[in-house]
Structure 1
Amino acid sequence: MKPKKIHNRPETKTNRIQLRKNLTSAEAFLWNELKGKKLNGRKFRRQHVIGIYIMDFYCSEENLIIELDGEVHNHAIVGENDDKRTAYLNRNGYKVIRFENKMVFENLLSVLQEIRDNFNDKKE
């Protein structure tokens, strides 16, 4: 029996494409720093699906997921869903780091350094 595909299942393609075309301003700002292996030679994908969840950014080399959170993530129910999602991803071997959207704009260098700090091989 073939194992169930959990990455970018075909039925999610239309949604992923739509999300890529409509990045939030914070996602677009951070993507400019991540695309083309600009950050320590690591390849990041945007709007990558794992299981039933769509990640803002994913680096397969590091099993690292970056999520950007706007104001809506401050609501209790959304926070609970974020916790469930993070627990699922952690159980499956992924590390999830989160940043508030405003952090990306106000402290980009710190955000990039925290991402680097989560790489397995810390070489610059």
Structure 2
Amino acid sequence: MDDPISFARQLRREQTLPERRFWGLVGPWREAGLHWRRQAPVGPYVVDFVCKSQKLVVEIDGDTHYSDAGIAHDERRTAFLKERGYRVVRFTNADVMQRGDGVFTVLMELLGEPGSES
């Protein structure tokens, strides 16, 4: 990934169904004024979702994240992000698609009620 910005743009254009669903789940916080970015460069990495004001990164993990190489890459990326003060939360594609209420509950635990952070 020589150019994280171009790569991020490509990923935004080719968003997966679980990523689109997650974008809808964070809608109440976006409407309340929290700024979220999709497929955003953070250092040398492109994270799935980030709310910089809350220092929160959310990753939606598909099958490639569960190979040995994927796990090692995710560990390096998570360490990099945590060194910069970010909290990193991971959900599987299935979590987002089949347990959206649970994902929403986790977000409420991390961010509070939409609009309460103002």
Structure with higher helix content: 2
Provide, for residues 5-59 of structure 1, a one-character-per-residue CA deviation record: whole Å limited to 9, x for no partner: xxxxxx5332221111100111011112224714x54221101111100010000
Unaligned runs of 5+ in 1: 1-10
Question: TM-score, normalization: structure 2?
Answer: 0.85
Deviation at 1:112, TM superposition (A): 1.3
Q: Measure, in 2, the Cα distance between the counterparts of 1:74 and 1:13.
A: 25
Q: Distance in 1 between matches of 2:108 and 2:102?
A: 10
2:91 aligns to what SS in structure 1? Answer: strand
Whether 1:90 aligns to 2:116 is no
* Match of residue 25 from structure 1: 17
Deviation at 1:123, TM superposition (A): 4.2
The structure that has the greater radius of gyration is: 1
RCO (CA 8 Å, sep 6+): is it higher in 1 or 2?
2
How many residues were matched structurally?
A: 111
State, as a whole percentage, how many aligned pairs show the same letter.
30
Provide structure 2 residue ranges, at least 5 long, that are not aligned to the other structure: none
CA contact (8 A) 1:35 1:43 kept: no
Q: Which residue of 1 aligns with 2:72?
A: 80
> 4+ residue stretches of structure 1 with deviation over 6 A?
none
- Residue number in structure 1 paired with 2:46: 54
TM-score (norm 1): 0.81
Partner of 2:102: 110
Q: Distance in 1 between matches of 2:77 and 2:20?
A: 23
CA distance in 2, matches of 1:77, 1:41: 37
